[in-house]
Amino acid sequence: MSELRLAPKAGARARFKLSNRFALLALLASISQFITNTSGAEAKPFQPADFPESTSKTYTYTLPNSKVSVEALQVKRLNEKHSNPRYCRAWVTITKDGKKVSSEYFEDINGLGGPCGLYFPQKSISDNYKGVVKLGDYDGRLLLVNNAGKYWNIPGGSFFTSKDKKLLFSTHECDAPAGIAVFDLQKGATIFQTNEKAKEAPPVVSKWYFDGTNYFFTSTDPSKPESKSKAQDVYVFDTKISKLVKKMLPPAKIAAATPIAYDFSAMSDSDIKAADQGMDVKGPTRDAAGKNK
């Protein structure tokens, strides 16, 4: 008898009989039908027959919690010969106590030469928050969900949390220039965000630092030669006023500060690989005539 194999990318395999295969695909389809679109395109339910194994890879991932669950389903094309979607389609559903409270839908995520789709960072944000990173379309997003089931979609791609776990700093992976968002993990609110459509472009992050009081970053202007002896422009996030303040710091002051590493970096191959998680869902296979088996 034909079998369906569901296997975590890195681990043990479980086998299901053919009847269970279609039961699982039907369940995924029913879940996707209830997703409310917030990304512009009309949300389309997942139809297993549209994504045979010969053209697509379908997999799921769940961020479990005692009361809140984040379920992700995404389909990635094996080549670009197909359309609708051409690259990647994804559905995200947040449930609390078994009831849907929010959702997200991405019609066709284009990597544009880089990674695309949903990623699940290995490092936790905090005890109260879980995160999913969406990359592609020149519009990185960080999908945040807390233990109460509240959901936020903020500019993102790469992020880190402050040492006291009160703030989350998110860098928008997008077309030039990149933006910045600061999220208050205690208040559950975005307290600062650059306006990438403003007349004056936001500064581009080069490297983050912590001076013991505030977080700041250097920003390199490619049109100006970098000097190791002169004072350098830095941008300090002032927590008292929740704003970026531009200052000049001598190299010694910058060197004395603690460099900050991202908890998840969209520019890191190892972070991307570790976060590319999911359980493969074998879709229908097709015979020589192109019919689903």
pTM over the 0.85 mark: no
Phi, psi of 255 (to 5 degrees): -65, -25
Task: Supply the pLDDT for residue 74.
Answer: 95
As a whole number of angstroms, the distance between CA 150 and CA 144 comes to 8
Residue-wise pLDDT tens for the chain (293 aa)?
A: 333 333 334 433 333 333 444 444 444 454 444 444 445 567 888 888 888 888 899 989 998 777 899 999 999 998 877 777 889 999 999 999 989 999 999 999 998 888 999 999 989 899 999 999 999 998 999 999 999 999 999 999 999 999 999 999 999 887 655 789 999 999 999 999 988 776 677 888 999 999 999 999 998 765 555 556 688 999 999 999 999 999 999 999 999 999 999 999 999 999 999 999 888 877 565 444 455 55
As a whole number of angstroms, the distance between CA 193 and CA 269 comes to 27
pLDDT tens digit sequence for 35-76: 444 455 678 888 888 888 888 999 899 987 778 999 999 999
pLDDT tens digit sequence for 243-264: 999 999 999 999 999 999 999 9
| Amino acid occupying residue 96 | K
Task: Supply the pLDDT for residue 18.
Answer: 37
Task: Supply the pLDDT for residue 14.
Answer: 36
The answer to whether the CB of 74 falls within 8 A of the CB of 88 is yes
Phi, psi of 115 (to 5 degrees): -70, 150
Task: Supply the pLDDT for residue 36.
Answer: 45
As a whole number of angstroms, the distance between CA 167 and CA 161 comes to 6
Which ranges of 47-196 would DSSP assign to H, the alpha helix? none
Query: Which burial class, exposed, middle or buried, applies to 90 when counting CB atoms under 10 A from its CB (0-12, 13-18, 19+)?
Result: buried
Count of other CB atoms within 10 angstroms of residue 245: 12
